[in-house]
Amino acid sequence: MSVDEERRSTRVKRLPREVRERQILDAAVRVFSQYGYHNASMDEISEVAGVSKPMIYAYLGHKEDLFAACIRREATMLMEAIAAGVTTEQAPDMQLWHGLRAFFQFVGEQKQSWRVLHRQATSQGGPFSEELLAMRGRAINLVDALLVRSATTRGEAPAKSTEALAAALVGASESLADWWLDHPEVSDKTVASWLMNLVWMGFGDLVTGTVWTPTPE
Amino acid sequence: MSVDEERRSTRVKRLPREVRERQILDAAVRVFSQYGYHNASMDEISEVAGVSKPMIYAYLGHKEDLFAACIRREATMLMEAIAAGVTTEQAPDMQLWHGLRAFFQFVGEQKQSWRVLHRQATSQGGPFSEELLAMRGRAINLVDALLVRSATTRGEAPAKSTEALAAALVGASESLADWWLDHPEVSDKTVASWLMNLVWMGFGDLVTGTVWTPTPE
């Protein structure tokens, strides 16, 4: 071992495991989002992270495990960002607005995260779609809880459609975020307000009982 | 060749190619939706179709090609079902309503198609997600055209957000259809009316210029 190598090895060893793991995951998200899962190489991730391949394998496993760990971490960060934006003291429309704002802010600031989470994980399929499904499930529950609270606050029994509408809103948000990746000239606030305007009146109706009905033909 | 084999072979040969291909694709959709892409076997598809494996290979190629052909055919059927439900003479809200009705009717009647199209293709990723993306693009264009027509009919310049909102609606429909697969007790008309009620007021606002704005905090 040369002096240089020894010095580097000593320095590397001093880093606590969580710091090392964060370095690896940061690098992996960058490389996966740039090259896609299939074309991303562990050599490249190792180089970007400044962590040797054997150490990556020891800490986070092989490419498939590493990719799954990226999805889990980025999904958790996204959910935390949304939860941090919303407090239950706010009026229902403001809760939804802040939730949407937080979502599009996260996607805008963490475009690499979103690419890995949504585009890469979707196009890779297999075990990764399980991780994605779990994340979607959590997001749907969050919105569902908001809609149920919103109805019960007004002293009404929540409609049984809240979970379905929560699923619709999550799908709409994902799809719109995907559209937005190709239209970066639009601000995150504008995108959020489009979606808010699209759905809020509908959610409001759900609570007040106003309905659209087809005109007789 | 036994007499039986010869008779069968003669009978099979009499079928025109398009009929044979339809048999194969029908069987493939059934098998893929039941077992998933990975676990589906060409033996099973051959047996369900009543067509020999060499003939399947000759007509539609190997498993990957066959799956891609299924996605293309089912996507085309879905788009045709939606287009058949909508005529441009209808008022914009009725066009959207009939489009949503046709979509959920198709998903309800062709659950196997939808499983292959959406769940299987999504979870397989790779080349199949390209087919899916193309289908989504066509669906988004269809809804976008409806929203633009709806605005111009009222003598207004269409908002630049129509394409984004079309993307949101397509994502909401997909996500809601997925939720519906796990809640078959809800009727297709009910699911369609939930989504219509969720988005129509929002789309109406897009045209009339009414907007939701956050309350000052």
pLDDT of residue A54: 95
Set of chain A residues whose Cβ sits within 8 Å of the Cβ of B206: 197-198
How many other β-carbons are positioned within 10 Å of the β-carbon of residue B26?
16
Lowest mean pLDDT segment, chosen from A178-187, B76-85, B145-154: B145-154
Mean pLDDT of B57-77: 90
Verify whether the Cβ–Cβ distance A164 to B191 is below 8 Å. yes
- Residue A201 pLDDT grade (very low, low, confident, very high; cuts 50, 70, 90): low
Is the predicted pLDDT of residue A47 greater than 80, yes or no? yes
Set of chain A residues whose Cβ sits within 8 Å of the Cβ of B191: 164
pLDDT of residue B59: 94
* B164-174 residue pLDDT tens: 989 999 999 99
For chain B, give the longest Cα–Cα distance: 86
* B188-208 residue pLDDT tens: 999 998 888 788 766 655 545
pLDDT of residue B167: 92
Is the predicted pLDDT of residue B66 greater than 60, yes or no? yes
Nearest CB partner across the interface for A167, out of B167, B168, B179 = B179
> How many Cβ pairs within 8 Å bridge chains A and B?
149
Report CA-CA distances (Å) from B108 to A24, A57, B105, B138.
Answer: 45, 46, 5, 21
Specify which of B12-21, B146-155, B175-184 reaches the highest per-range mean pLDDT: B175-184
Mean pLDDT of chain B: 81
Rounded to 10 degrees, the C-alpha dihedral B60/B62/B65/B67 comes to 100
Nearest CB partner across the interface for B215, out of A94, A161, A170 = A94
Q: How close is the nearest chain B Cα to the Cα of A174, in Å?
A: 7
CA–CA separation, A71 and A113 (whole Å): 8
Give which of B175, B178, B191, B196 to mutate to test A binding, by max A Cβ within 10 Å.
B175
Nearest CB partner across the interface for A122, out of B125, B167, B176 = B125
Mean pLDDT of B18-34: 92
Set of chain B residues whose Cβ sits within 8 Å of the Cβ of A169: 172, 198
Verify whether the Cβ–Cβ distance B193 to A211 is below 8 Å. yes
- Which amino acid would we find at residue B32? F
pLDDT of residue A209: 54
Task: Write b or e for each residue in B34-50: b if 16 or more Cβ atoms lie within 10 A of its Cβ, otherwise e.
Answer: eeebeebeeebbbebbe
Is the predicted pLDDT of residue B213 greater than 60, yes or no? yes
Tokens coding B90: 């209808």
Mean pLDDT of chain A: 81
* B117-126 residue pLDDT tens: 776 666 665 6
CA–CA separation, B33 and B53 (whole Å): 19
User: Scanning every residue of chain A, which has its alpha carbon at the shortest distance from the alpha carbon of B90?
Assistant: A217
pLDDT of residue B123: 62
Tokens coding B111: 């659950």
Is the predicted pLDDT of residue A140 greater than 70, yes or no? yes
Rounded to 10 degrees, the C-alpha dihedral A97/A102/A107/A113 comes to -140
Report all structural domains of chain B as residue ranges with CATH numbers, in order of start: 1-61 (1.10.10.60), 68-208 (1.10.357.10)
pLDDT of residue A43: 96
Mean pLDDT of A63-84: 89
Phi then psi dihedrals of residue B184, to 5 deg: -70, -10
